[in-house]
Amino acid sequence: MAERTIPAPKSDPETEPFWEGARRGKLMLKRCRTCGEAHYYPRPLCPFCLGETDWIEARGTGTIYSFSTMQRAPVPYAIAYVTLDEGVTMMTNIVDCDFDALAVGQRVSLVVKPSESGQPVPMFTPTQAAS
Amino acid sequence: MSIRGQAYIAGIYEHPTREAKDKSAAELHVESARGALADAGLGLKDIDGYFYAGDGPGALSLANHMGLRLKHLDTTDCGGSSYILHVGHAAEAIAAGKCRVALITLAGRPRSDPSFGATMRAQNAAAPEYAFEAPYAPATANMYALAAMRHMHEFGTTSEQLAWVKVAASHHAQWNPNAVLKEVVSVADVLGSPIIASPLHRLDCCVISDGGGAIIVAAPEIANALKRPRVRIRGAGEATKHQLGGRIDLTFSAARWSGPAAFAEAGVTPADMKYASIYDSFTITVVMQLEDLGFCAKGAGGRFVADGNLISGQGRLPFNTDGGGLCNNHPSNRGGLTKVIEAVRQLRGEAHPKVQVKNCDLAVASGIGGSLATRHTSATVILERV
């Protein structure tokens, strides 16, 4: 099956640790030093209280909050929001699976896929069959 | 300060074109402005306020092109709901004495210019979320599809129920000679159309059309001197919803906040509405807004729209009697302005006789601009015939 070309993400000084983590096969998040809340996408200042934030490594596991298979595309793909076990929900793609078997609530785990520039991008693949 | 009763919609115009190969967006803006002024019985020199969103060559260029002399300019852009929001902002400006006759225009050619949709919807590479979204290829349809999929999961909403929104719009569009899609469709037709972004089918999506339109909002003493039926702005609300720092909740839209604000200012309830214009970018957009505006309980929207409940003369809540964005027109990929226009037609008694709501004295127009699943602004206005 043809692979979809993944646009390269633009890294900047504030988010480079996220992309550096992806190069190591990791998913990096940020958590607030003041209120203790994790958030997504990563920001230098917490979107809940504007406190300073620190990088943490996510477990890389979560559940599908919602998904949609884009059929009207040269190469169909599944876009999704995945709720991480750390409590935040991120936009992503679900890959390496049968799109027809996807379901809300399904458990997924982290994989990284190379983008056009070679920079890996965090994505997810099912770890259990849909119930 | 409340805007209640402080301003009137004095003129409306929906450009009849749905494909404008030989006309620029700027000219569609001007023709729409001329149409709305003629409808009101006002002239170019009467305009002293201009409300413009991001759908053309720019506010200053259009003011220059049309020869506007302005005391008040508002370029708030929140996507397709901008024009509903502009009605409220125009009423505020008039109530505050900043202008007396406000012009709102919209125009664009997404059908004739294939790059239009791509550029309008392209994400802004300077936006901080860009790197965390663009690699995953969010488009317009699959973002609304995410909300539909979650709605189905949480509330048991079905594709058949969503299809009823399109069926109702098509029943209305058959009487609109300018509608892009005039054929009445069935639930089976919607479900039989190809999946675009699961669970949304092609017929769950609005049309792509060239076109434009304009609205004139006027101070009471001006509206009272005109010969047209009088439509007063009774209340307005706006609210913005986003990704909440990653606490994504796709079960509701910002209409949950804009609706109650508008109804409270107007001193009325959803049950008082004789007609509703609801921005129908997709069928799911209507279901969620009807819940959020309070026409039914959260999660009951699928059941509410089923079995023809939105069809004029048949159901409890006649909606989008021009055929809406789903069948009639979605000029510039922005559906807010036409929502206001059809509500005004209903209140004037100037809708098509086959879809005109009897004794239509109170109506709501509401819309979501941006993307239901990421960032959007909802605008709601309550209008009354006086």
10-residue stretch averages of pLDDT, chain B, 386 residues long: 95 97 95 98 98 92 97 97 98 98 96 66 78 95 97 98 98 98 98 98 97 98 97 98 97 98 98 98 98 98 98 98 98 96 98 98 98 97 98
B122 lies in some domain = no
B316 lies in some domain = yes
Whether residues B153 and B75 fall in one domain: no
CATH of the domain at B223: 3.40.47.10
Tokens of A126: 């099912």
pLDDT score recorded for residue A3: 78
Instruction: Test A89 with B147 for CB contact under 8 angstroms.
Output: no
In this complex, which of B195, B248, B374 lies closest to A65 when CB atoms are compared? B248
B120 lies in some domain = no
Instruction: Report which residue type is found at B119.
Output: T
Domain that holds residue B332: 136-209+234-385
- Give A15's contacts in chain B (Cβ within 8 Å): 131
Whether residues B299 and B359 fall in one domain: yes
In this complex, which of A48, A91, A105 lies closest to B136 when CB atoms are compared? A91
Whether residues B272 and B358 fall in one domain: yes
Whether residues B226 and B263 fall in one domain: no
In this complex, which of B125, B136, B248 lies closest to A10 when CB atoms are compared? B125
B124 lies in some domain = no
Rounded distance between C-alpha atoms, residue B228 and residue B204, angstroms: 36
User: Rounded to a whole number, what is the distance in Å from the CA of B372 to chain A's nearest CA?
Assistant: 13
B243 lies in some domain = yes
Whether residues B84 and B162 fall in one domain: no
Assess contact for B107 and B32: CB atoms under 8 A: yes
Chain A interface disruption, residue of B140, B153, B198, most A CBs within 10 A:
B198
What percentage of residues in chain A have a pLDDT greater than 90? 89
Whether residues B154 and B72 fall in one domain: no
Assess contact for B239 and B299: CB atoms under 8 A: no
Residue A1 reports pLDDT greater than 90: no
Instruction: Say how many domains are in chain B.
Output: 2
B350 lies in some domain = yes
Tokens of B156: 């048991």
Half-sphere exposure of B9 (CA within 13 A, CB side): 34
Instruction: Test B125 with A68 for CB contact under 8 angstroms.
Output: no
pLDDT score recorded for residue B118: 46
Please provide residue B292's backbone torsions phi and psi, each rounded to the nearest 5 degrees: -65, -30
ipTM value for the complex:
0.97
- Mean pLDDT for A14-19 is 97
Q: Determine the residue of chain B that is closest to A79 in CA distance.
A: B136
Instruction: Test A104 with B142 for CB contact under 8 angstroms.
Output: no
Chain A interface disruption, residue of B130, B196, B247, most A CBs within 10 A:
B247
Instruction: Test A71 with B197 for CB contact under 8 angstroms.
Output: yes
B219 lies in some domain = yes
Instruction: Test A88 with B247 for CB contact under 8 angstroms.
Output: yes
Whether residues B43 and B188 fall in one domain: no
Give the DSSP H/E element, type plus range, for residue A84.
Answer: strand A77-84
pLDDT score recorded for residue A2: 67
Instruction: Test B136 with A67 for CB contact under 8 angstroms.
Output: no
Last residue of a domain, one of B177, B201, B232: B232
Q: What is the set of domains in chain A, with CATH numbers?
A: 16-126 (2.40.50.840)
Whether residues B140 and B98 fall in one domain: no
Whether residues B162 and B296 fall in one domain: yes
Residue with tokens 């539909």: B148
Instruction: Test B146 with A39 for CB contact under 8 angstroms.
Output: no
- Dihedral sign (CA B343, B348, B352, B357): positive
Whether residues B281 and B305 fall in one domain: yes
- In this prediction the pTM is 0.97
**Of B263, B321, B316, B266, residue with least CA distance to B294:** B263
User: Rounded to a whole number, what is the distance in Å from the CA of B127 to chain A's nearest CA?
Assistant: 11
B126 lies in some domain = no
pLDDT score recorded for residue B361: 98
Chain B interface disruption, residue of A91, A99, A116, A117, most B CBs within 10 A:
A91
Give the DSSP H/E element, type plus range, for residue B30.
Answer: helix B25-40
Residue with tokens 């699959």: B142
Rounded distance between C-alpha atoms, residue B105 and residue B75, angstroms: 11
Residue with tokens 């819940």: B291
Residue with tokens 């999660």: B299
Whether residues B345 and B316 fall in one domain: yes
Whether residues B188 and B271 fall in one domain: yes
